[in-house]
Structure 1
Amino acid sequence: MLPVILDVEASGFGRGSYPIEVGLARADGTTCALLIQPCEEWVHWDPKAELLHGISRARLAREGYPVRDVARWLNDELKDVQIAYSDSWGFDNTWLSLMFHHAGMLPGFRLESLRRLLDEAQLNRWSDVKEEVLCDASIRRHRAGEDARLLQLTYLRSSQTD
């Protein structure tokens, strides 16, 4: 069974940034993602981040879901597995905490670092395998669901012995 991978895209990279999209690669390999409507007090916006993920503030206003809906969705998605993994635990955990705080909810799951699942051999070949997967799978980078799937496929391929 594959680990559930969670990824977050954000308004920027530093202080004041907030989550704008959260995505999952489920244990069965399917992916899903939701855009997040920024709360009123979430005003930080980094144009460089927008260039990476390609999501505009206007699109978030039009297509995003309220933070409470996204938090509820995540809790529903992860209630059975109870754990998801992230390759950027420090950032993703901070952004999830901010989202759940503004939703007035607690997460019903734990977010762990993906590194906890990797042995030394996987760590040593991770970057090369990730590049191979990118070439083979035609994944669109810097979108939460696609990045989560990229990590999941990299985990799978890196765990296979030659």
Structure 2
Amino acid sequence: MICIDLEASGLASDSYPIEIAWACAETGRNDSFLINPESVPGWTYWDEFAEELHGIEPELLQQEGIDADEACRRLNKALKGEEVISDAFDYDGFWLRRLYQAVGMQPSFRLVGLDAVLSGEQHIQYQFIARTQFRRHRAMRDVEDLISAIRTVLYESP
């Protein structure tokens, strides 16, 4: 089970991914990185409310972020052929498409939603658990919370 989370410059149609993290629940393999929006022409939209949530400032992205093409290569190498789970499939899918389209590449993995691992009743249980978690809106911490909630539903629920 591999889970992914993305943080973005906002929620508008002009938004773009600024942080990506993924982790494999079984092996512990993981990766997390920031993306420098200056590497993509036109990635200028910035929502200060989103910044307040995730705490990632544009200056940090410029200093520590990798280029968008490197982000795609890194994801493709690590996740090739895998199904990768997102608890925010529509948003994460949108931002992954923006990322890959920006550099003219295709993902080597398949993004899936929670329904790929949870049944209808389990999905409801997941929602209850997720609401009790304090999401910090940093990608790796949110991936860890996602894995924890899925494990609770799959292995610890009656």
TM-score by length of 1: 0.87
Q: Alpha-carbon deviation of 1:14? A: 1.4
The match for 1:18 is: 16
The match for 2:69 is: 68
Aligned-partner SS, 1:87 = coil
CA deviation map 1:44-85 (0-9, x unaligned) = 100000000000111100000000111001001102x52101
Q: Counterparts of 1:128 and 1:113 in 2: how far apart (Å)?
A: 17
The match for 1:34 is: 33
Where structure 2 has 5 or more consecutive residues not aligned to the other structure, the ranges are none
CA deviation map 1:115-159 (0-9, x unaligned) = 221113312221332355x37xxxx61011111111111101111
How big is the alpha-carbon RMSD for the aligned residues of Structure 1 and Structure 2?
1.7
The match for 2:97 is: 97
The match for 1:153 is: 148
Q: Alpha-carbon deviation of 1:87? A: 1.0
Contact 2:114 2:123 in 1 (8 A): no
The match for 1:59 is: 60
Q: Relative to 1, partners in 2 of residues 1:10 and 1:150: Cα closer, same or farther, differing over 3 Å?
A: same
Q: Counterparts of 1:158 and 1:113 in 2: how far apart (Å)?
A: 15
**Which AA in structure 2 matches 1:114?**
L
Q: Which contiguous aligned blocks of 4+ residues in structure 1 show a shift greater than 3 angstroms?
A: none
Where structure 1 has 5 or more consecutive residues not aligned to the other structure, the ranges are none
Please tell me whether residue 87 in structure 1 is matched to residue 87 in structure 2.
Answer: yes
